[in-house]
């Protein structure tokens, strides 16, 4: 864990403490340790109690069946997710309550109540049925941040189809591969979306992707930007045509789903080139996201205006824009665009306009705001905020304290929440009315979650650095990797026997606080997005001029990590700036703009051990400008010095 040493050093100086304020405690849902005590006494009973806050058709017969590493939760129970997210609030007389205050990037807005959401979801569920989607099928979704996106997801849940949402920033090839892996029948998309004031295209990518997706029978397209699109009669349908069809049945009877039926697939990058389809099921997942959303954010259903500023294309949006908040009957803000359009105060103007009380975002955003300066937040009334959350990457203490002071006005607890696509919901986080905060620490596992740090040999660590593992099953845990049960065992359960290994390093201080230190495997974290080094390497090597490539994540003050690629070209090729630009574009086409290397270093050779393994550790040293570590195991020590010389002069894209 060479990377982590510097972080451990830095963290050991951080001893500021922020206990919950009396004002916050007076009003908080959880104010003492009783939930922790209940969960310690009987973990399964604790989770069953949380599950009881959902509406079930049939109650479960067994809380948890644990066949390491395969778990089933609330076995025998039946429920429908859309009913929990919508119908039950409408039935309880809250149909007029706002589910989403949606704000489009150009400034257009929509206010959608629970009753309106339900109406749209039922109708779109019937649209899907009419297109031949059946219980157990998969539906792909590739959309911008518009209200039709949660409508489409919930419509799938209504009829028992699993959705697979692909982030709109992924390329057509990435989309194609995910569709083919899931074998989806229908794809839901839009003509395009808005980003920084311009319309970007989605349907164009879809048209390329579906040329090679034999299972897709229909494409449903929302008209968002009005740009010209190509049309394939019979295959393509406008969303509004299908929804406005007078023959369309308005009511859609919800399917009674088994607790363990597949709810969705979400693809995430691992240490290999092929992304994994993470499987989440119905009852356990919904229990986990509803519980965590309520208690971590101290949600007061009737007062709070909650805003999770993530994209629904990632797990944070699935769990904390769609499933958690709707199940809890919350009023949310949903925003389509970027924080700097039309100006760098867009977020603060949204908070002021909707009187947002809870904000959940990523440290990358916070560090960017710090760079832009306080004049943007200072120009707005942020006094409605009462709680701030952070997710996606370690938050450095400076950013935490800036968030606390400048955005939270020194009165809002900052909850740093650690979790993963695989965990389904938040695992490690303060409870804001209970936990004394330390800037940069995610503090403790939530009630019902058991985490342990272990050393190389799998021996528990009580103080100091180690590997983060989870030792007991939890309701929202992934149920496997789509189509590859062996890979599930091997990826998550084989490094330390009997433990789920999350891929993260962490440190425990002498008061039992956890400090997350980032990935210890070949996964990079760029602006809170997971990108696999191997995936980027494969994309580069796929280019006809490239002989070999090695990719590392280097520390970056704004994005957390930046992608640095070391590339060896085939004989006769020249590694100049234009060539670097072509390779960046190629990666963008293969994966998406998020995976574009910031710097490409052309080199005649890569540092390898005598057995031919690329020494990424040394490449990281070079990328981060450190003195080179031990080079004695290298086959040719001169190679890395040459690379360091070249790296110093390689062009970098901002």
Which residues, 356 to 395, sit near ligand WTA by CB under 6 A?
391-394
> In this chain, which stretch among 138-146, 311-319, 448-456, 541-549 interacts with ligand WTA, using CB under 6 A?
311-319
Q: Return the residue of 172, 259, 332, 525 that touches ligand WTA, per CB under 6 A.
A: 525
CA distance linking residue 262 with residue 479, whole number of Å: 9
Q: Return the residue of 140, 189, 364, 421 that touches ligand WTA, per CB under 6 A.
A: 421
Nearer to ligand WTA (CB atom), residue 50 or residue 532 = 532
Site track for ligand WTA across 424-453, x = CB under 6 A: ------------------x-----------
Q: Is 416 in the site for ligand WTA (CB under 6 A)?
A: yes
C-alpha pair distances (Å), 572 with each of 196, 547, 569, 602: 40, 11, 8, 13
Closest C-alpha to 481, from 497, 493, 496, 473: 493
Q: How far is the CB of 236 from ligand WTA (least distance, A)?
A: 31
Q: Return the residue of 77, 283, 503, 592 that touches ligand WTA, per CB under 6 A.
A: 503
Q: Return the residue of 516, 587, 600, 643 that touches ligand WTA, per CB under 6 A.
A: 516
Q: Return the residue of 268, 282, 364, 441 that touches ligand WTA, per CB under 6 A.
A: 268
Q: What is the DSSP string of 70-110?
A: EEEEEET-EE-HHIIIIIHHIIIIITTSEEEEEE-TTS-EE
Largest CA distance in the chain: 75
Q: How far is the CB of 11 from ligand WTA (least distance, A)?
A: 12
CA distance linking residue 259 with residue 282, whole number of Å: 5
Q: Quick check: 449 and 468 in contact, CB under 8 A? A: no
Q: Which residue has the tokens 């997942």?
A: 285
Q: How far is the CB of 343 from ligand WTA (least distance, A)?
A: 28
> In this chain, which stretch among 187-195, 211-219, 308-316, 432-440 interacts with ligand WTA, using CB under 6 A?
308-316
Nearer to ligand WTA (CB atom), residue 80 or residue 268 = 268
**DSSP category for residue 205:** H
The CB density around residue 136, as the number of other CB atoms within 10 Å, is: 12
Helix axes 43-51, 34-41, angle to 10 degrees: 120
Task: Provide φ and ψ at 435, rounded to 5°.
Answer: -90, 135
Sign for the CA dihedral angle at 146, 150, 153, 155 comes to negative
Q: How far is the CB of 441 from ligand WTA (least distance, A)?
A: 9
> In this chain, which stretch among 27-35, 396-404, 416-424, 643-651 interacts with ligand WTA, using CB under 6 A?
416-424
Q: What is the DSSP string of 28-64?
A: -S--STHHHHHHHH-HHHHHHHHHTTS--SB--SEEE
CA distance linking residue 99 with residue 148, whole number of Å: 13
Which residues, 30 to 59, sit near ligand WTA by CB under 6 A?
none
Q: How far is the CB of 348 from ligand WTA (least distance, A)?
A: 23
The CB density around residue 302, as the number of other CB atoms within 10 Å, is: 10
Q: Quick check: 352 and 305 in contact, CB under 8 A? A: no
Site track for ligand WTA across 527-556, x = CB under 6 A: ---x--------------------------
Nearer to ligand WTA (CB atom), residue 207 or residue 504 = 504
Instruction: Report how many residues bind ligand WTA under the rule CB under 6 A.
Output: 23
Q: How far is the CB of 459 from ligand WTA (least distance, A)?
A: 22
Q: Return the residue of 53, 272, 420, 588 that touches ligand WTA, per CB under 6 A.
A: 420
> In this chain, which stretch among 208-216, 313-321, 376-384, 451-459 interacts with ligand WTA, using CB under 6 A?
313-321
Task: Provide φ and ψ at 622, rounded to 5°.
Answer: -65, -45
Q: Return the residue of 24, 170, 194, 314 that touches ligand WTA, per CB under 6 A.
A: 314
Q: Return the residue of 293, 386, 507, 519 that touches ligand WTA, per CB under 6 A.
A: 519
Q: Is 419 in the site for ligand WTA (CB under 6 A)?
A: yes
Name residues whose C-beta falls within 8 Å of residue 271's C-beta, 6 or more positions apart in sequence: 491, 521, 522, 523, 532, 533, 534
Q: Is 297 in the site for ligand WTA (CB under 6 A)?
A: no
CA distance linking residue 98 with residue 303, whole number of Å: 12
For residue 165, the SS3 value is strand
Q: How far is the CB of 179 from ligand WTA (least distance, A)?
A: 20
Instruction: Point out which residues bind ligand WTA (CB under 6 A).
Output: 268, 314-316, 391-394, 416-421, 442, 502-504, 516, 518-519, 525, 530
């Amino acid at each position: 864990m060479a990377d982590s040493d510097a972080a451990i050093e830095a963290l050991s100086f951080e001893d500021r403490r922020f206990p919950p304020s009396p004002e916050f405690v007076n009003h908080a849902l959880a104010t003492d340790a009783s939930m922790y005590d209940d969960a310690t006494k009987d973990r399964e009973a604790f989770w069953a109690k949380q599950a009881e806050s959902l509406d079930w058709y049939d109650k479960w017969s067994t809380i948890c069946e644990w066949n390491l590493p395969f778990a089933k939760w609330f076995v025998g129970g039946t429920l429908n997710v859309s009913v929990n997210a919508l119908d039950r609030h409408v039935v309880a007389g809250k149909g007029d309550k706002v589910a989403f205050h949606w704000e489009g990037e150009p400034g257009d807005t929509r206010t959608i109540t629970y009753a309106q959401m339900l109406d749209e979801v039922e109708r779109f569920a019937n649209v899907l049925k009419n297109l031949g989607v059946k219980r157990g099928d998969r539906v792909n979704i590739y959309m911008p941040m518009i209200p039709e996106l949660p409508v489409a997801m919930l419509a799938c849940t209504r009829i028992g189809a699993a959705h697979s949402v692909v982030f709109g920033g992924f390329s057509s090839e990435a989309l194609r591969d995910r569709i083919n892996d899931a074998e989806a029948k229908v794809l839901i998309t839009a003509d395009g979306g808005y980003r920084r004031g311009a319309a970007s295209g989605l349907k164009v990518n879809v048209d390329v992707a579906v040329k090679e997706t034999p299972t897709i029978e229909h494409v449903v397209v929302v008209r968002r930007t009005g740009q010209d699109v190509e049309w394939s009669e019979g295959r393509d349908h406008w969303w509004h045509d299908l929804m406005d069809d007078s023959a369309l049945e308005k009511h859609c009877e919800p399917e009674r789903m088994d607790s363990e039926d597949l709810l969705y697939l979400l693809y995430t990058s691992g240490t290999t080139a092929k992304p994994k389809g993470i499987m989440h099921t119905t009852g356990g997942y919904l229990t986990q996201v509803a519980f965590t959303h309520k208690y971590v954010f101290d949600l007061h259903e009737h007062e709070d205006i909650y805003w999770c500023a993530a994209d629904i294309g990632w797990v944070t949006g699935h769990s904390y824009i769609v499933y958690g908040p709707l199940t809890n009957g919350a009023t949310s803000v949903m925003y389509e665009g970027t924080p700097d359009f039309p100006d760098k105060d867009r977020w603060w103007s949204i908070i002021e306009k909707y009187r947002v009380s809870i904000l959940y975002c990523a440290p990358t955003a916070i560090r960017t705001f710090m760079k832009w300066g306080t004049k943007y937040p200072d120009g707005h009334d942020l006094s409605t905020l009462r709680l701030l959350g952070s997710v996606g990457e370690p938050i450095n203490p400076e950013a935490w304290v800036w968030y606390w002071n400048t955005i939270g006005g020194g009165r809002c607890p900052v909850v740093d929440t650690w979790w993963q696509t695989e965990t389904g919901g938040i695992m490690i986080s303060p409870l804001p009315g209970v936990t004394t905060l330390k800037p940069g620490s995610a503090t403790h596992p939530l009630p019902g979650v058991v985490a342990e740090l272990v050393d190389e040999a799998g021996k528990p660590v009580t103080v100091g650095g180690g590997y983060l593992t989870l030792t007991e099953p939890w309701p929202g845990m992934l149920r496997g990797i789509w189509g590859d049960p062996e890979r599930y065992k091997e990826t998550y359960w084989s490094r330390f026997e009997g433990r789920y290994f999350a891929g993260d390093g962490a440190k425990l201080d002498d008061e039992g606080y956890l400090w997350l230190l980032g990935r210890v495997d070949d996964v990079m974290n760029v602006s809170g997005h997971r990108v696999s080094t191997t995936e980027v390497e494969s994309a580069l090597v796929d280019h006809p001029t490239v002989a070999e490539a090695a990719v590392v994540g280097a520390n970056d003050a704004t994005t957390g990590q930046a992608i640095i690629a070391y590339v060896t070209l085939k004989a006769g090729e020249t590694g100049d700036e234009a060539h670097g630009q072509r390779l960046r574009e190629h990666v963008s086409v293969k994966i998406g703009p998020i995976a574009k290397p910031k710097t490409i270093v052309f080199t005649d050779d890569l540092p390898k051990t005598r057995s031919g393994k690329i020494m990424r550790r040394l490449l990281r040293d070079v990328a981060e400008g450190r003195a080179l570590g031990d080079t004695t195991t290298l086959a040719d020590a001169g190679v890395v010095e040459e690379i360091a010389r070249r790296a110093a002069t390689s062009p970098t894209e901002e």
